[in-house]
Structure 1
């Protein structure tokens, strides 16, 4: 009996050790996977009726933006406009030039103008909460993108920044075989950047052989040019092959500046891994010998369309989620064709890209036909 009990205890200890080792091997990867799964289940419910609610016809929509910099923002705005116009509505864009006080003022102006719906792009809750509260009390539906608002009745959507950062960083870690020196281009003060920073910290625990030798970044009217100058200075500090292996850019404007600096310096030994994607970015990635080898992104136009559809669902009186994540994808240079392509062709090479029907109620098809 004693021998049987001893053998049983030994088996239990071996099983426990195996579980512990498995959890230790990739704790952050598992955490990100769980987060992504939770977000993916948050589907925007659709009405069973195909009849167009009278409340959604000819809506006047306000898009309140913290800033409009780069081609990502351009394509995001294009997505919003296309979807609103397809539904027979109109949209006015308020650009706040990265000034939160101005953004709050623009929000108040939209509420006072008694618009039918408000879309918010970026911004911070401390600057916008009062204005959003006024909108909600006035019965104006609100949907925010990449924001930290937590107000009952307001839906906040994002690109699943945890998954975005992990997809790009995991590719970087695997390409470096878990060892090397990297620089990170990042800036605080933006909700998506704060979320991406969480995964950067986790990345170093998963890949302890990868060292961060520099972190910098600014958001300005000339972000790409500023980043190019910063990377040029960085290269002077690390002039030799092997000093610096990769640059992780948390925004495509950062990636564009980094790529141009590397190309001008002829540094083909340093690779760029980014977040976000646009037509201009695709051209940079597809160039021969481009250092930009991978980026994680959601279709910016699709983000704008999904955000708009959720707003229309709210206007129709349908139940909508408090949070919703648009599915991101990993785009690698090696999967792209040699000939130049644009974002509307990317679905031919990235399965699922730009084909989302999230937050699409049956009556929306009829509403679009009525517009035509």
Structure 2
């Protein structure tokens, strides 16, 4: 009797153990199935958006002024809309530092690289190294002509032509002018080509001074313009200033206003919110400028980089067409910014250049 009870107890223990092991096994299988499903779901999501999650390096020669700030904003927001992340590597107007930043981006295996300014001589070796590592590159105003690289630029000769011709019209094709410009930058060199032709076309327009320094550009332009105004103190001795960069235009505008020499008119290149405020100010000598939306430039540059990441063959060069903005075209009772400038100046605003159907789908997917 005792043996039967003992045997029944042992059988009960064995049965309980079997039930526990069976339950654990079913739980493990269920968990494995759930995890496998999650992994498959994750894999499908990644497969449906292979361009999402990219690390992008933006390497800039310099990042001074509001134009650069709005350009960076355009780049950053567009990459984020694509589900990626941007790291800005600024080079403080030092080409050697820019070369080092490019090497850093390559060694850290960024998925794509955007270049802002620089020169072909300084960047070619690093760019070729990046391409050998299968890292795509899109450059803005860098003067690069390398197979596999898309070079983005404003139409610099058109920028110069629009502002110079406006100056000639306003001055009657004669007068003494000051030129603010600096060599060694591809966009500046292109603008100089147009300037040289312009001076031959209008022999009664005389250049009485020229200067320009990219380091602390606005402050340097103001200081040098103050010295020139002292050299030419009589009203009418200087008719106008042509500034090949908005940082220069802001500097000379400050100097002219402080000297009370508002008979001198300023014509600039590039446009930002700060620039528009000065152009709209009736007490400001800065009356007109030509430029492209800096934020849109950044967006377009990112789109071409993502085309490359998609495996597309992109154009070797992409031109951003500028617009001309004069004070007369802007309202007198409202402050205009780059966000609403398109309401008053045809051709300004959000650009669809470089966009594709799959990039629009990526943006919608990343937004979810």
- Category of TM-score, reference length = shorter chain: 0.7 to 0.9
Deviation at 1:150, TM superposition (A): 1.2
Unaligned runs of at least 5 residues, structure 1: 1-51
Q: What runs of 5+ residues in structure 2 fail to find an aligned partner?
A: 1-46
Once superposed, what is the RMSD of the aligned Cα atoms?
1.1
**Equivalences for residues 6-25 of structure 1 within 5 A:** none
Following superposition, the deviation at residue 57 of structure 1 comes to 1.7
Structure 2: distance between partners of 1:223 and 1:79: 23
- More relative contact order in 1 or in 2 (CA 8 Å, sep 6+)? 1
Distance 2:53 2:238 in 1: 55
CA contact (8 A) 1:55 1:315 kept: no
Any conservation in 2 of the 1:252–1:277 contact (CA below 8 Å)?
Answer: yes
SS, match of residue 343 in structure 1: coil
- The answer to whether the aligner puts 1:293 opposite 2:287 as a matched pair is yes
The superposition leaves residues 259-299 of structure 1 with CA deviations (integer Å, 9 ceiling, x where unpaired) of 11111111111000000011111111111222111101000
Q: How does 1:1-372 map to 2 (within 5 A)?
A: 54-220=49-215, 222-338=216-332, 339-372=334-367
Q: Does the aligned pair in 1 maintain the 2:268–2:290 contact within 8 Å?
A: yes
Structure 1 CA distance for aligned equivalents of residues 247 and 323 of structure 2:
18
CA distance in 1, matches of 2:121, 2:217: 25
User: What's the offset of the Cα at 1:54?
Assistant: 4.3
In the alignment, the residues of structure 1 paired with residue 152 and residue 293 of structure 2 have an alpha-carbon distance, to the nearest angstrom, of 14
Give 1:240 shift: 1.1
- In the alignment, which residue of structure 2 is the partner of 1:16? none
CA distance in 1 between counterparts of 2:50 and 2:305 reads 12
Please give the secondary structure, in 1, of the residue aligned with 2:241. Answer: strand
Tell me the TM-score normalized by structure 1: 0.84
Q: How many angstroms apart in 1 are the aligned matches of 2:163 and 2:190?
A: 14
TM-score normalized with structure 2 length = 0.85
How far the C-alpha of 1:53 sits from its partner, in A, is: 7.0
Deviations along 1:39-96, one digit per CA (max 9) or x if unpaired, are xxxxxxxxxxxxx974422111000000111000000000000100011100000000
Q: Secondary structure at the match of 1:293?
A: strand
Which 4+ stretches in 1 moved above 3 angstroms? 52-55
Q: Deviations over 1:314-335 (max 9, x none)?
A: 1101121101111100010111
Can you list the C-alpha shifts for 1:295-316, whole angstroms capped at 9, x where unaligned?
0100001110000000000110
- Greater C-alpha radius of gyration: 2
Give secondary structure in 2 for the equivalent of 1:106.
helix
| Corresponding residue SS for 1:56 | coil
